[in-house]
């Protein structure tokens, strides 16, 4: 089938899929979808992977006291950022192929204000620097030296983020040094990193966290050390507003984890929020985004994982992944649970 014909076929399928073709914002029509009703006084926080549970607890301390969702998500993701045993976020993150730990992070609030840092070195709490970008500069993203300078100017201290464990793994990887970025996913990771312990990374990756506070406002945060042994300077989806994270306070919020390049190509988190605007549940919206990635690159599932999480203004949550094994943690007044996420494969 020609590219154009496949595109048309896909577009038709998509139109039929979306609420009977009723609302196609891409064509400039006004949304006819009723906005979800906010459930006030019932805060909720969700985050990626099993390790989201501890992060949710820190977020909950803020939410339960009636604090802002923005403060909750920052507080929450700082937990894995500070954990040296966690090799995918902040301190202890796996380095790039040159042995440098470079962090990506983004944050977004209920007023669509957002901030991000990319390729930030030597600062543990990349998320707080992303918040500084949002609150103290007229910009949305700072990278590398500029991001570091902002952090230092605001009292952050430089630290070595490369732990002995991550350094040893990097040195092991250097023996063959295949310049192929590795996703922190068990089945392809342990084939390559001989020094690593199977099971260590199973449920670890980027942390994406979404929260709704007692006032019914939404915020989100996303922070990561990115792909292990990536090229120096590589930036993933996590600091790209709309790709790794997106919040629309009228509709809902979404975040992603997994192979960032594929998420950027479909502007994943924004897509999930727009699909919720069309009336899809959080899980169905995440599923449609994963299907979009799979449609564009049907070989994708063989090489990597992608997962999306989402919440809407009703406090409903959901997630979907490309492959089995993705989990997400939820804490609200009603439940505290780690969910196994449904997947395409
Ligand atoms: C990235 N989505 O940088 C993030 C994190 C990741 O394995 O890939 N972790 O693409």
| pLDDT for 25 | 40
Is 14 considered catalytic here? no
23, pLDDT greater than 90: no
CA of 258 to the centre of ligand 1 (A): 5
Q: What is the pLDDT of residues 178-187, one digit of tens each?
A: 766 555 444 4
189, pLDDT greater than 60: no
Asked if 42 and 327 touch (Cβ cutoff 8 Å), the reply is: no
3-state secondary structure the chain: CCHHHHHHHHHHHHHHHCHHHCCCHHHCCCCCCCCCCCCCCCCEEEEECCCHHHHHHHHHHHHHCCCCHHHHHHHHHHHHHHCCCCCCCCCCCCCCCCCCCCEEEEEECCCCCEEEEEEECCCCCHHHHHHHHHHHCCCCEEEHHHHHHHHHHCCCCCCCCCCHHHHHHHHHHHHHCCCCCECCCHHHHHHHCCCCCCCCCCCCCCEEEEEECCCCCEEEEEEECCCECCCCCCCCCCCCECCCEEEECCCEEEEEEECHHHHHHCCHHHHHHHHHHCCCCHHHHHHHHHHHHHHHCCCHHHHCCEEEEEEECCCCEEEEECCCCCEEEEEECCCEEEEECCECC
24, pLDDT greater than 60: no
Higher pLDDT, 212 or 180: 212
| pLDDT for 207 | 97
Mean pLDDT of the chain: 86
275, pLDDT greater than 50: yes
Closest CA relative to residue 266, chosen from 249, 290, 285: 290
333, pLDDT greater than 80: yes
CA of 126 to the centre of ligand 1 (A): 15
Q: What is the pLDDT of residues 138-152, one digit of tens each?
A: 999 999 999 999 999
Closest CA relative to residue 239, chosen from 117, 324, 111: 117
104, pLDDT greater than 50: yes
The gap from C-alpha 6 to its chain's centroid, in whole angstroms, comes to 30
| pLDDT for 39 | 73
Give the confidence band of 298 by pLDDT, cuts at 50, 70, 90: confident
Order across the sheet with 252-258: list the strands.
245-248, 252-258, 306-312, 317-321
12, pLDDT greater than 50: no
Q: Is the CB of 279 under 6 A from ligand 1?
A: no
Closest CA relative to residue 328, chosen from 39, 7, 46: 46
| pLDDT for 183 | 54
Alpha-carbon gap, residue 337 to 172, rounded angstroms = 36
Atom 3 of ligand 1 has which residue's CA nearest to it?
226
Residues 330, 335, 338, 343, Cα dihedral to 10°: -80
Asked if 327 and 338 touch (Cβ cutoff 8 Å), the reply is: yes
Average pLDDT over residues 223-230: 94
Q: Is the CB of 71 under 6 A from ligand 1?
A: no
Catalytic hit among 206, 257, 327, 341: 206
User: 100: which 2 tokens?
Assistant: 């440098």
Instruction: Supply the pTM of this predicted model.
Output: 0.86
Average pLDDT over residues 261-284: 97
Q: Is the CB of 227 under 6 A from ligand 1?
A: yes
191, pLDDT greater than 90: no
Alpha-carbon gap, residue 91 to 32, rounded angstroms = 46
User: 11: which 2 tokens?
Assistant: 């577009």
């Amino acid at each position: 089938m020609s590219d154009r014909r496949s595109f048309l076929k896909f577009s038709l399928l998509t139109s039929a899929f979306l609420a009977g073709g009723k609302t196609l914002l891409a064509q400039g029509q006004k949304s006819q979808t009723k906005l979800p009703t906010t459930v006030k006084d019932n805060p909720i926080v969700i985050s990626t992977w099993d390790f989201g549970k501890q992060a949710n607890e820190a977020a909950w301390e803020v939410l339960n006291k009636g604090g802002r969702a923005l403060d909750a998500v920052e507080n929450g993701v700082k937990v894995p950022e500070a954990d040296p045993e966690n090799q995918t976020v902040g301190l202890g993150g796996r380095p790039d192929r040159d042995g440098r730990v470079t962090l990506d992070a983004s944050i977004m609030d209920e007023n669509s204000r957002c901030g991000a840092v990319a390729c930030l070195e030597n600062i543990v709490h990349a998320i707080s620097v992303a918040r500084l970008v949002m609150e103290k500069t007229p910009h949305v993203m700072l990278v590398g030296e500029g991001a570091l300078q902002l952090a230092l100017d605001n009292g952050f201290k430089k630290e070595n983020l490369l732990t002995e464990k991550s350094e040893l793994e990097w040195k092991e990887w250097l023996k063959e040094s295949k310049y192929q970025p590795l996703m922190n996913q068990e089945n392809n990771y342990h084939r390559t990193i001989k020094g690593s312990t199977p099971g260590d990374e199973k449920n670890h990756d980027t942390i994406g966290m979404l929260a709704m506070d007692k006032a019914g406002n939404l915020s989100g945060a996303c922070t990561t050390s990115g792909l292990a042994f990536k090229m120096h300077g590589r930036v993933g989806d996590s600091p790209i507003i709309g790709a790794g994270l997106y919040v629309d306070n009228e509709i809902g919020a979404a975040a992603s984890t997994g192979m960032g390049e594929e998420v950027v190509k479909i502007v994943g988190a924004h897509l999930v929020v727009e699909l919720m605007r069309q009336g899809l549940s959080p899980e169905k919206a995440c599923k449609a985004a994963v299907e979009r990635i799979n449609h564009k690159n049907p070989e994708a599932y063989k090489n990597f994982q992608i997962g999306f999480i989402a919440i809407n203004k009703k406090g409903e949550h959901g997630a979907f992944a490309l492959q089995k094994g993705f989990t997400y943690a939820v804490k609200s007044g009603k439940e505290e649970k780690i969910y196994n996420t449904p997947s395409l494969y």
